[in-house]
């Protein structure tokens, strides 16, 4: 039996447009039966904080287009980034790891400080090991 391919993603953004892109890519990886490990870094950890997840609504590029982008996504019934991630985790082998340093920057010391998608808090060494052993490595 062939082993599943592995994707490692470094998710350092807290921008809703890039989080949605990450969700779409994650969905594709799960559809291809890939095992996925996502390492949530810096602004990604901010987005994953329980009090922030549903409120993230700023894009990193062209902030003047935020309203137009959100309206278009809603009219197309595009899921939120949290919905993309949740569905992918329900359908595939997906793990979310919060960077310990990034979590602490935003006041998150425990897994319970983050949205329910978070599996664990880890150090950067785990991310580096995962990236070295991945078939696909992405930085968003």
| Non-local CB neighbours of 37 within 8 Å, separated by 6+ positions | 6, 7, 8, 9, 94, 95, 97, 130, 134
Q: Where are the beta strands (DSSP E) in 67-135?
A: 94-99, 120-122
Task: Find the mean pLDDT for residues 60-88.
Answer: 91
Separation between Cα atoms, residue 29 and residue 55, nearest integer Å: 26
Integer angstrom CA distances of residue 73 from 21, 64, 84: 12, 16, 13
How does residue 56 score in pLDDT terms, banded at 50, 70 and 90?
Answer: confident
Separation between Cα atoms, residue 104 and residue 33, nearest integer Å: 33
Q: What is the predicted pLDDT for the residue at 133?
A: 97
Q: What is the pTM of this model?
A: 0.93
Q: What is the predicted pLDDT for the residue at 60?
A: 76
CATH code of the domain in which 30 resides: 3.40.1260.10
Is pLDDT larger for residue 115 or for residue 66?
115
Q: How many domains does the chain have?
A: 1
Residue 1 located in a structural domain: no
What residue numbers bound the domain in which 110 lies?
6-139
């Amino acid at each position: 039996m062939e082993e599943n391919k592995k994707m490692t993603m470094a998710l350092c953004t807290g921008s809703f447009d890039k989080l949605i892109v990450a969700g779409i890519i994650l969905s594709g990886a799960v559809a291809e039966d890939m095992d996925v490990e996502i390492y949530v870094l810096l602004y990604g950890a901010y987005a994953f904080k329980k009090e922030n997840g549903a409120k993230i609504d700023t894009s990193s590029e062209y902030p003047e287009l935020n309203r137009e982008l959100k309206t278009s996504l809603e009219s197309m019934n595009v899921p939120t980034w949290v919905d993309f991630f949740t569905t992918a985790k329900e359908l595939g082998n997906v793990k979310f790891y919060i960077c310990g340093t990034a979590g602490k920057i935003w006041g998150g010391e425990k897994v319970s400080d983050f949205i329910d998608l978070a599996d664990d808090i880890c150090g950067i060494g785990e991310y580096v090991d995962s990236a070295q052993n991945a078939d696909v490595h992405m930085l968003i």
